[in-house]
Amino acid sequence: MPQILDGKLVRDAILAEMKPRVERLAAASRPPGLAVVLAGHDPGSEIYVRNKVKACAELGIYSEKLTPPETITTGELLELIAQLNARPEIDGILVQMPLPKQVDSRRVLLAIAPDKDVDGFHPFNVGNLVANSPGPRPCTPAGIMEMLRRYEIGVAGKRATIVGRSDIVGKPMALLLLHRHATVTICHSKTPDLAGECRRADILVAAMGRAAFVTRDFIRDGAVVIDVGINRVSDREQAARIVRGDVARLAEFDRKKSLVVGDVDALDVGGASAYTPVPGGVGPLTIAMLMVNTIQSAEQRIMGRTE
């Protein structure tokens, strides 16, 4: 049986290590400050933001949740970002996606001061990532690297394949693995013989957003499989095919009228040596690394420390 890589355990370890750093900052000057902007009423976004605010409270990080109306314009949101940029007690600014359709998301993200960009999405910070210079790293890929490190899964000299080329996960994941001396392949919807490419990987990262798409046909014996997918399945027949007789999971579907599954078919991982479950794998690490980025931003601002 493959080893299950428990994201909750890694998250708890990261947050336990962060708490004394928050306490030192609070004793020296003030606690770190995070502002989260949530425009509109997307249910998934509201859950994510609630979890981020909760994590701040547990660590002692000062947080503000700003909830402008769904009718907000690009100009009004840019003005709000400018105000947050100017506030010295705010170390991190996070604008929750998706934004309302009338808002120019790219202009908004570019307006965030690079030293307060705790998502690591600003082009300045993307450049730092490419150059392997200090700066905030995108939270999900950074969390995956922490998981690999803490489970003592070697990266140097390994073949790593990433399925998905998004700016949020796929591309930064490739760069972080490359900086750790992996040989990296990025695959996508136009890749010929996708399963064959994936079977070459010692580390396979699935981040394409297709429910239970990756099966044993994609997985080399002994490979470590990282499932980044968060897919909400609302069709009961599809859910039944994915869980294949798991009574508890079907009962969960009937209760919630949907089921969250990953990009990997968790019941068909073949000879994988380890994999991350969904939920409970990569997901918990994203918020943990957001806390890390916020604390590092505060340390740089208050104490002049960089890491």
CB 7 within 8 A of CB 282: yes
Give CA separation, 282 vs 53, 143, 210, 288, in Å: 19, 7, 16, 10
Strand 231-233 and strand 259-261: pairing? antiparallel
- Alpha carbon 45 to chain centroid, angstroms: 14
The amino acid occupying position 195 is: A
Beta-strand ranges (E) seen in the chain are 3-4, 33-37, 62-66, 92-95, 159-163, 183-187, 203-206, 224-227, 231-233, 259-261, 274-275
**CA–CA distance, 209 with 163 (Å, rounded to integer):** 10
Q: What secondary structure does DSSP assign to 41-81, as a single string?
A: --HHHHHHHHHHHHHHHHHT-EEEEE---TT--HHHHHHHH
Catalytic center residues: 52, 96, 119
Q: What secondary structure does DSSP assign to 105-146, as a single string?
A: HHHHHHHS-GGGBTT--SHHHHHHHHTT-SS---HHHHHHHH
**CA–CA distance, 203 with 241 (Å, rounded to integer):** 26
Strand 3-4 and strand 33-37: pairing? unpaired
Biggest CA–CA distance in the chain, Å, is 57
Cross-strand partners of 94? 36
Closest by Cα among 128, 140, 145, 127 to 184: 145
What's the number of CA atoms in the CB half-sphere (13 Å) around residue 67?
8
